[in-house]
Amino acid sequence: MQEKAGSHHGEPIEPEPQPLSAEIWNAPIPENFKPPHLATFDGRGNPMEHVTAFNNRMAVVGAADSLKCKLLAGTFTDAALRWYINLPRFSIISYHDMIRKLSAIFR
């Protein structure tokens, strides 16, 4: 576990304010994992087309749902990124939850 700069030893760092739950945020990433090239989603077009293409890429690497949440968030740009960063802190509790929220906003 990382420590805060200038803190007492052993004091964990708070996750950055972001919408992924602490469980997702803290889930380990496999050693030597190299993310595949992923298309971006800017909020235009069909979000489920983006998710389907993303899921196909994730199936190839066998990514866990927590890793899929982190990687999917990294594909957002423009309006989709603004939506994501304005979600309440820790409000995404699973990959299914993330997809549900994404598809409810961008139709």
User: What is the per-residue pLDDT for 50?
Assistant: 98
User: What is the per-residue pLDDT for 1?
Assistant: 41
User: What is the per-residue pLDDT for 80?
Assistant: 97
Angle between helix 78-85 and 95-105 (nearest 10)? 120
pLDDT digits (tens, 9 = 90+) for 67-95: 999 999 999 999 999 999 999 999 999 99
Q: Which amino acid is at 6?
A: G
DSSP structure string for 16-49: PS-SB-HHHHHSPPPTT--PPP---B-S-S-HHH
What is the mean predicted confidence (pLDDT) over 14-20?
76
Is the separation of the CB atoms in 100 and 29 below 8 Å? no
